[in-house]
Amino acid sequence: MIVRPRWADFKVIGLYTGKVIVGVGLLMVIPLATSLLFREWNPAIDFFLGIGACLAFGFGLEILCQTSRDMAWGHGLVVVSFSWFMATILGAIPHYLSGHFSSYLDAMFDVMSGYTTTGLYLLQDLDHVSHGFNMWRHVLTFAGGQGIIVIALTFLFQGTAGAYKIYVGEGKDERLLPNVIQTTRAIWLVSLAYLMVGSSFLWIAGMSLGQGPVRGFLHAVWIFMSSWSTGGFAPQSYNSIYYHSLLYEVITVPIFVIGSFNFALHWAVWTGEKREIYRNIETISFFTTVAIAMLLAMAGLMKLNVYPDIIALFRKMFYQVVSAHTTTGLGTIYSRTFVRQWGTLAMLGIILAMAIGASACSTGGGFKGIRMGIIFKGLIQDVRRLISPESARIVEKWHHISTRLLDDATVRMAMLIVLSYAGIYALGTVAGVYYGYDLVEAMFDAVSAGSNSGLSCGVVSPTMPTLMKVVYLFEMWAGRLEFMSLFALAGYLVALFRGR
């Protein structure tokens, strides 16, 4: 029997959703300040309206849904999926008012792409957007990378009993410290420390390329936010090609590789567990699968003789593969180059890299290295069981922060999530093929959306069919939240009509 949600349940969900939306409104203060600083009055008005809408909605929900009831697991998951959805609708107000989008759906697509650190965009005339609006795009992706819920827990929640229940719903289910609010603060400490260091290097690099101090600073901060959050947005439509600089590439690669690491790994390494960096199952999995993807891409490139020398081959292949595997989406080749020069085999290498993706509890997307590692270990365990006597007890261990015994429930859970990802990748691919795109091209952009990568071979554009925009938007949302929150929201909706 399904239990129909009661008004008291909606009050709990409304109260915490309201808090998160207030957080989104407060985030808009950063681009508003940027607009005011650069005397961009029209964008400033857009942000005023956006802040007003978020605060009115957020505080309105908090007042309407005042309750002292504790949050249950179901509530926490629904709060996450619902608040991400509402944050997308309300966050799109400044986008739509900027005049760079042909519809509100396109604006929502870009906001969801930002929050989920995907990096695909439908914005038109990117090279002429205001500083304030560019700041908003990159703040979105930086905030989304750490998690909207993580922000709310860090700055707006104090000692909330149900904090862990909404923290888990956002796909970050690890505690770095015993207290979940301290955990979220540790996540921010790591990110802000890297923000200062990484932006400084990029600023120096930008100025050495001839950018003025202000422009160099803005580009440095934006590219850092995009790289660290494995986002893929850039202030120019040529993305990383715009800089045409080996130095810029050498600085951005470590930022997005480190950004794709599990925050629990960061915290372990930062607090003295140095061996964790090469013992962790995710690091091992990442190095193995990135090498396989590089081999595939390189085989494809060499077969077609795309690059004339080793350095050109390494520079282009390495950047694209690592950007894809960390689900960043920054690129140093044009979108159509994948189709016109790289060819099917190299594209499959990139698709594989995007599908597997980054680490769990990181800013990245995809299946996640930990699941690949667990499934591989599960396979090894099963093979060992098959060749051992029936009475033998086969024990497989895996290491992530601590060494654990592999059990069937862990393997089953990892398989379920990987299957769910495969499902959304297939959904996007079918939609693309239905509208007449080539299979590999449709798969490339569908996997990119579902894994929150952001590389595109040219399918994503403002002119693509509306249904494909909706499918990709759903893929980004589902992929980032790792399904459970969405399943809970769907369950609530079903229970609303079918429950007793």
Partner 1 sequence: MVAAAPRCGGEGVVYKRQVGFGLQNSGGFYRYLIGMALEVSATVVLMGVGLLISIFGFYLWK
List of residues contacting partner 1 (CB under 8 A): 177, 182, 185-186, 188-189, 193-194, 197, 253-254, 257-258, 261, 266, 269-272, 274, 277-278, 283, 287, 290-291, 294-295, 298-299, 302-303, 309-310, 313-314, 317-318, 321-322
C-beta closer to partner 1: residue 79 or 186: 186
Q: In angstroms, rounded to a whole number, what is the distance separating the alpha carbons of residues 268 and 289?
A: 23
Shortest separation between residue 384's beta carbon and partner 1, angstroms? 29
3-class secondary structure per residue, the chain: CCCCCCHHHHHHHHHHHHHHHHHHHHHCHHHHHHHHHCCCHHHHHHHHHHHHHHHHHHHHHHHHCCCCCCCCHHHHHHHHHHHHHHHHHHHHHHHHHCCCCCCHHHHHHHHHHHHCCCCCCCCCCHHHCCHHHHHHHHHHHHHHHHCHHHHHHHHCCCCCCCHHHHHHHCCCCCCCCCCHHHHHHHHHHHHHHHHHHHHHHHHHHHHHCCCCHHHHHHHHHHHHHHHHCCCCCCCCCCHHHHCCCHHHHHHHHHHHHHHCCCHHHHHHHHCCCCCHHHHCHHHHHHHHHHHHHHHHHHHHHHHCCCCCCHHHHHHHHHHHHHHHHCCCCCCCCCCCHHHHHHHHHHHHHHHHHHHHCCCCCCCCCCCCHHHHHHHHHHHHHHHHHHHCCCCCCCCCEEEECEEEECCHHHHHHHHHHHHHHHHHHHHHHHHHHHCCCCHHHHHHHHHHHHCCCCCCCCCCCCCCCHHHHHHHHHHHHHHHHCCHHHHHHHHHHHHHHHCC
Shortest separation between residue 220's beta carbon and partner 1, angstroms? 17
Amino acid residing at 30:
I
C-beta closer to partner 1: residue 220 or 322: 322
C-beta closer to partner 1: residue 263 or 421: 263
- Dihedral Cα 13, 16, 17, 19, nearest 10 deg: 160
Q: In angstroms, rounded to a whole number, what is the distance separating the alpha carbons of residues 206 and 211?
A: 6
C-beta closer to partner 1: residue 127 or 309: 309
Shortest separation between residue 209's beta carbon and partner 1, angstroms? 21
Shortest separation between residue 302's beta carbon and partner 1, angstroms? 3
C-beta closer to partner 1: residue 274 or 412: 274
C-beta closer to partner 1: residue 218 or 321: 321
Shortest separation between residue 278's beta carbon and partner 1, angstroms? 8
Shortest separation between residue 216's beta carbon and partner 1, angstroms? 22
Shortest separation between residue 258's beta carbon and partner 1, angstroms? 5
Shortest separation between residue 188's beta carbon and partner 1, angstroms? 7
Amino acid residing at 359:
S
Shortest separation between residue 58's beta carbon and partner 1, angstroms? 24
Give CA separation, 276 vs 108, 281, 283, 365, 402, in Å.
39, 9, 9, 22, 9
C-beta closer to partner 1: residue 78 or 353: 353
C-beta closer to partner 1: residue 287 or 434: 287
Shortest separation between residue 158's beta carbon and partner 1, angstroms? 12
Cβ atoms of residues 96 and 133 within 8 Å:
no
C-beta closer to partner 1: residue 192 or 383: 192
C-beta closer to partner 1: residue 78 or 176: 176
Shortest separation between residue 407's beta carbon and partner 1, angstroms? 29
C-beta closer to partner 1: residue 104 or 287: 287
C-beta closer to partner 1: residue 139 or 321: 321
Shortest separation between residue 329's beta carbon and partner 1, angstroms? 18
Ramachandran angles phi, psi of 405, nearest 5°: -85, 140
Q: Given the structure tokens 């033998």, which residue do they identify?
A: 392
Q: Given the structure tokens 């007003």, which residue do they identify?
A: 52
Shortest separation between residue 185's beta carbon and partner 1, angstroms? 4
| Closest by Cα among 13, 154, 152 to 71 | 13
C-beta closer to partner 1: residue 41 or 314: 314
Cβ atoms of residues 166 and 148 within 8 Å:
no
